[in-house]
């Protein structure tokens, strides 16, 4: 009985020994990738990776070249804040005054809306002890008769602070006597800045510095 059992065991063992490799081979065949396929896949992926890295390097380089690392100014007319930045760094933040968003109408029907200009502007000029040439709206606002264009009465000194940065179309970044109003919409469109911040701005920016107003 014992001997018969042993014989059966040996027969079964031998049968399985022969069958096992073929069974395993069959399992290998249904596996998703053969070693050769894997090698080919990895090779193709290495090429993809290299190509992507090269493309990205080109893009990174291009975007880096755009970054001129120049100082630029940003004016947020909603929160009345001016920031001086270089790249991703904020160099200075100032509380400023921006356009009052109000209308003034002259008796003749002419009207003005006092809003700060928005968009990408540039510092077109820098002034020390700027002089204000009173525009027509300033007279209309006070119900005064409007003098001729070159009337000396239009020249007002000392109201724009020590410095001004010219933005064009009559708009400037300048000082103000109304420092209590900084942080509000109170100007006729210019950007009003406190004395200390104005001096920093004047010393830091150059003609051509970009000014983004939104």
* Binding of another protein by 7 (CB under 8 A): no
The pattern of x and - marking residues 46 through 65 that bind another protein according to CB under 8 A reads: x-xx--xx-xx--xx-xx--
* Binding of another protein by 153 (CB under 8 A): no
To another protein, the closest distance from the beta carbon of 6 in angstroms equals 9
* Nearest to 160, CA basis, from 181, 191, 137: 191
To another protein, the closest distance from the beta carbon of 190 in angstroms equals 19
Cα–Cα distance measured from residue 162 to residue 175, given in angstroms and rounded to the nearest whole number: 7
Cα–Cα distance measured from residue 57 to residue 190, given in angstroms and rounded to the nearest whole number: 43
Cα–Cα distance measured from residue 42 to residue 46, given in angstroms and rounded to the nearest whole number: 6
Judged by CB under 8 A, the residue of 2, 4, 30, 78 near another protein is 78
CB-hemisphere CA count at 13 Å for 114?
Answer: 21
Cα–Cα distance measured from residue 158 to residue 176, given in angstroms and rounded to the nearest whole number: 9
Residue numbers at the binding site for another protein (CB under 8 A): 9, 13, 16-17, 20-25, 27-28, 35, 38-39, 41-42, 45-46, 48-49, 52-53, 55-56, 59-60, 62-63, 66-67, 72, 74, 76-79, 83, 85, 88, 90, 120, 210, 212, 214
């Amino acid at each position: 009985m014992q001997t018969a059992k042993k014989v059966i065991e040996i027969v079964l063992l031998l049968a399985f020994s022969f069958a096992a490799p073929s069974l395993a081979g069959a399992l290998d065949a249904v596996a998703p990738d053969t070693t050769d396929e894997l090698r080919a896949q990895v090779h193709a992926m290495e090429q993809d990776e290299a190509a992507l890295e090269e493309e990205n390097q080109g893009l990174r380089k291009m975007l880096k070249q755009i970054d001129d690392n120049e100082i630029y100014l940003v004016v947020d007319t909603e929160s009345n804040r001016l920031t001086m930045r270089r790249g991703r760094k904020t160099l200075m933040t100032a509380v400023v005054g921006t356009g009052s968003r109000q209308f003034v109408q002259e008796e003749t029907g002419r009207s003005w809306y006092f809003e700060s200009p928005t968009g990408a502007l540039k510092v077109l000029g820098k002034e020390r002890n700027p002089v204000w040439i009173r525009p027509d709206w300033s007279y209309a606002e006070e119900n005064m008769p409007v003098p001729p264009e070159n009337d000396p009465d239009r020249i007002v000194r000392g109201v724009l602070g020590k410095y001004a940065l010219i933005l064009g179309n009559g708009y400037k970044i300048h000082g103000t006597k109304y420092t209590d109003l900084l942080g509000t919409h109170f100007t006729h469109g210019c950007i009003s800045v406190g004395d200390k911040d104005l001096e920093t701005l004047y010393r830091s920016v150059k003609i051509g510095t970009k000014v983004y107003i939104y």
